[in-house]
Amino acid sequence: MRIGEIAALVGVTSRAVRHYHHIGLLPEPARQANGYRAYTVRDAVLLARIRRLTEIGLSLDEVRDVLADDAGRELAEVLGELDADLARQEREIHERRQVLAVLLEAPLAPDGPLSPALAALLEKAPATGSPAAAKDREHLALLDAAGGGAGAEVFAALRPLAEDPGVLALYERLDELAGAGVDDPRIAPLAAELVAAVPDEVLAVIPDGEPSPSGFGRVLLDDYPPAQREVVRRVMVALAERVRTRVHRRTP
């Protein structure tokens, strides 16, 4: 058989056969006097096995292991690993479809898609034209996207705070500091009131040492003008200290 004939017999392309030769997966057959490859039934059987193994999801490296006889891994071992990987993908797809089902039940937000936890939090927040509130929403969306679901507990704990109408007044006072300097006397009292407004339930789900004016916190701080940045920095430091105090109280 020539290359086109063996390819058609097994149901692959001639290009695939040449690629298997190139990577050493399928041995090169003997050539006839005219230079054409002469394939045998044994070559066709091996090529058919390669096709079956790739169709069930094995990579070419895994196929090479299976075909390597004593030097390779048992087919059962490779298939077991493939089955476990497919099961993991199946679970992930199921979880993603569950999230999509929740998102599709309600109108999508302009900055969506958001996780169900963050969407529920923002739904409870009163409407406001505050630039500081809008920035806070952007930061929550960033945490939502970067956290891989880690912010769900935090978002749930923040719901009472989002529903508190007094928070809007704090946002407005933060807005008033947009053009102020870092020595503005309004900074310290506003930071103290913002810290006091955060309930203990939120601190219970914040890891020790967070929030911190470094890493993710540094990105958020750089998004504010000087006076507002100083307010937020003080809030981060004070909340981190509250978290540490709470943890130490629980430690025997």
CB contact at 8 A, 172 and 125: no
Bridge partners (DSSP) listed for residue 37? 31
CB contact at 8 A, 217 and 171: no
Q: So what's the pLDDT on residue 7?
A: 92
Crossing angle, helix 116-124 and helix 131-146, to 10 degrees? Answer: 160
What are the pLDDT tens digits along the chain (252 aa)?
Answer: 899 999 998 989 999 999 999 999 999 998 888 888 899 988 888 898 898 888 888 889 888 888 876 555 677 777 787 788 778 888 888 877 876 776 666 555 555 567 777 877 887 787 888 999 888 888 887 777 765 555 677 788 888 888 888 888 999 999 999 999 999 999 999 999 999 988 877 777 765 555 555 556 677 888 899 999 999 999 988 888 887 776 566 555
Half-sphere exposure of 94 (CA within 13 A, CB side): 6
CB contact at 8 A, 190 and 229: no
Q: So what's the pLDDT on residue 52?
A: 87
97-118 burial, b for 16+ CB within 10 Å, e for fewer?
eeeeeebeeeeeeeeebbbbbb
Please tell me the pTM assigned to this model: 0.53
CB contact at 8 A, 171 and 125: no
Q: So what's the pLDDT on residue 184?
A: 95
